[in-house]
Amino acid sequence: MKQLLIILLGISFIFPAKAGDDPVCHARIINKRTYMNVSREYPMEYWIAKDKYCYINNNQIKTIVRKDLGVVYTILVKTNKYYVDSIKPQQKLTEAGKEPDFKYIGLNYEPVYEWNKSHKLPKDTVANFVCDHFRSEGDADFDQVSLEFSVARPGDRIVAAMFNETMVSIMGWMKTRKPLADMLKRNKYLIPTRFIETVDNPIAPPVTTSFKLDKLEMTSPPENIFELPLGAEKEK
């Protein structure tokens, strides 16, 4: 019996488990966008490993970020077509900016917000996490934004750090979410659980975008979740 056990242990070292079998951080998020009293809700699934992550938007668009390979794949689920791009360095956001050149205001206009200090609201509970709750307002030349958000500190620091890093990489360039992104950058074990962002300007109805965490766990990933689907064709 001892000899059989030794043989089995030896086999396990010769044929280790696949990397894809290792537990990953899995998150389910519900996003909602409201414009002109019309709301659209869509779920997102995130699968996060050490050097790669994948998120699926409403089961229509699958994005695979391979930090280990330096590439991003965007797959159209229905057609099994994909695009590939290299990972670009994230640009730093700055509060100061040049005065707007009125010749180029329009599609090229990017507001630079001056944010007030985030003030704390009563705690709330999201996805079974007791959360700190904040509100902040930003003002630009033509836009105003209000951002209400909640953050939590999960007991599992590995899950928290993995989810935090991914959310920072996604939100880090979004000027309308800067107070939240900055808070996440300062504490890698802090996670976003909810936000409601409303952007208003004088020439269009306000747009409200919300994010709510529904589930966060460590679990086994679906097979080949970080690989291009079988038979996928590159879009020319």
- pLDDT tens-digit readout, 157-196: 999 999 999 999 988 888 999 999 999 999 999 999 999 9
Q: Do residues 216 and 191 make contact, with C-beta atoms less than 8 angstroms apart?
A: yes
Cα gap 65→175, rounded to integer Å: 22
> Looking at the predicted structure, is the pLDDT value of residue 90 above 70?
no
**Residue 136 in domain:** yes
Tell me: the pLDDT tens digits for 11-57?
333 333 344 458 999 999 999 999 999 999 999 999 999 999 999 99
Contact of 111 with 143, CB cutoff 8 Å? yes
pLDDT of 178: 95
53 in a structural domain: yes
Per-residue pLDDT of 93-139, as tens digits, reads 444 444 545 444 455 567 889 999 999 999 999 999 999 999 999 99
CATH of the domain at 174: 2.50.20
Q: Nearest Cα to 194, choosing from 167, 161, 159?
A: 167
Residue span of the structural domain in which 158 resides: 18-89+113-223
**26: which 2 tokens?**
């899995």
Residue 210 to residue 212: CA distance in whole angstroms: 7
Could you tell me if residue 4 is inside a domain? Answer: no
Residue 208 lies in a domain: yes
Query: What pTM does this model have?
Result: 0.80
Residue 93 and residue 118: Cα distance in Å, rounded? 18
Q: Domain for residue 236, yes or no? A: no
* pLDDT-derived band at 92, boundaries 50, 70, 90: low
Establish if 202 belongs to a structural domain: yes
Q: Does some domain include residue 45?
A: yes
Element (H, E) at 171: helix 157-171
- Residue 165: inside a domain, yes or no? yes
Residue 236 in this model has a pLDDT that exceeds 50? yes
Write the DSSP symbol of residue 37.
T
**pLDDT, position 16:** 37
| Number of domains making up the chain | 1
Closest CA to 43 of 218, 214, 159: 214
Chain centroid, CA 111 distance in Å? 22
Query: Which of the pair, 2 or 76, is modelled with greater confidence?
Result: 76
Contact yes or no for 110/175 (Cβ under 8 A):
yes
